[in-house]
């Protein structure tokens, strides 16, 4: 399905549907009972690997740590021949230039958090300056956080307008809008925040910062996928999705991919349209692929801790 060009002008979100929480939970429960075997499992794990945003977002981050993470993202095939690279390396704005140089012309994207990540508690002008700096340093993608305080205060127009302003500040960089679903409270609020982000021009909607619990769940991801689906059906525009935080095993990743395919279609099974924000997932997938290749698990000690 070709995607229509994304407008940079904020639009009024559509009326918000009421979420059937029981229905969502039952749908997720059914997906979790499924399994994928043999070659399909291997292909699914390789696809998941290619969708990972390897991330380091700690106060103790150093240029050397970022360089090591970039090396890992580019050299997964050192573990097993034929493996893809990851989709992106995600760092703070001050380390974007380091990641950009380390990745070179590999095609792996540099993503950067911005907008007073993870709290979002800063004036809009500071958030815009943060975004512009990250882009000027070479970021291909910006991961912003919404102003949850404004959202919970009912100031939805502020949230909409701020996302639109950040989108404008991104220039050619793609914008991932983090809802921090663990702080929103209900699935109805998750759907409302999803619709606001999409109306404001988000290229991706993303569940979480990974800094609070609960982070990504299949239930909130399903609600967000429905928002993407409804937007596509009414406009023809494809919006990307990124669950982040708490996805640690290949089995979980495969369940997410099944859900994406069934809810949105195979066109979304591509790193351009779906990502995992789950660095520890990479190691589990590598261990599972090694098991599929030779029948033996390697110790976790053989894999770097990100």
Residues forming the active site: 143, 206, 242
**DSSP string covering 223-292:** HHHHHHHHHHHHH----EEE-BSS--SHHHHHHHHHHHHHHH-GGG-STTTB-BB-HHHHHHHHHHHHHH
Half-sphere exposure of 149 (CA within 13 A, CB side): 6
Closest CA to 221 of 174, 173, 253, 175: 253
Q: Please, what's the b/e burial string for 100-121 (b: 16 or more CB within 10 A of its CB; e: otherwise)? A: bebbeeeebbbbbbbbbbbebe
Q: Which two tokens stand for residue 70?
A: 């970039």
Give residue 222's Cα distance to chain centre. 14
Distances (CA, A) of 304 to 109, 138, 251, 283: 21, 26, 21, 8
Question: How many Cβ atoms sit within 10 Å of the Cβ of residue 261?
Answer: 15
Contact 295, 288 (CB under 8 A): no
- Please name the residues in contact with 84: beta carbons below 8 A apart, sequence gap of 6 or more: 46, 49, 50, 76
Return d(Cα 104, Cα 74) in angstroms, integer.
10
Residue 52, SS3 per DSSP: strand
Return d(Cα 246, Cα 277) in angstroms, integer.
9
Contact 12, 199 (CB under 8 A): yes
Phi, psi of 159, rounded to the nearest 5 degrees: -60, -45
């Amino acid at each position: 399905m070709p995607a229509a060009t994304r407008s940079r002008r904020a639009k009024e979100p559509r009326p918000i549907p009421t979420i059937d929480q029981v229905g969502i939970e039952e749908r997720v429960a059914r997906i979790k009972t499924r399994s994928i075997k043999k070659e399909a499992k291997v292909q699914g794990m390789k696809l998941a690997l290619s969708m990972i945003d390897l991330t380091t977002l700690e106060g103790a981050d150093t240029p050397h740590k970022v360089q090591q993470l970039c090396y890992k993202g580019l050299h997964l095939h050192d573990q097993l021949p034929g493996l893809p690279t990851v989709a992106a390396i995600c760092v703070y704005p001050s380390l974007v230039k380091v990641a950009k140089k380390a990745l070179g012309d590999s095609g792996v994207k540099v993503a950067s958090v911005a907008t007073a990540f993870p709290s979002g508690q800063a004036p809009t002008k500071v958030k815009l300056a943060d975004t512009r700096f990250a882009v000027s340093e070479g970021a291909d993608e910006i991961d912003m956080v919404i102003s949850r305080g404004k959202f919970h205060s009912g100031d939805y127009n502020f949230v909409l307008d701020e996302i639109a302003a950040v989108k404008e500040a991104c220039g050619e960089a793609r914008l991932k809008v983090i809802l921090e679903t663990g702080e929103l409270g209900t699935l109805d609020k998750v759907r409302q925040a999803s619709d606001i982000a999409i109306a404001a021009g988000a290229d991706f909607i993303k569940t979480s910062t990974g800094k609070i619990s609960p982070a990504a769940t299949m239930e909130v991801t399903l609600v967000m996928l429905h928002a993407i689906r409804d937007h596509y059906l009414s406009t023809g525009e494809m919006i990307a999705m990124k669950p982040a935080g708490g996805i640690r095993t290949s089995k979980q990743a495969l369940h997410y991919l099944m859900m994406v395919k069934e809810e949105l279609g195979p066109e979304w099974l591509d790193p351009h349209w779906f990502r995992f924000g789950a660095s520890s997932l990479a190691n589990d997938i590598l261990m599972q692929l090694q098991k599929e290749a030779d029948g033996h698990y390697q110790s976790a000690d053989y894999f770097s801790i990100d």
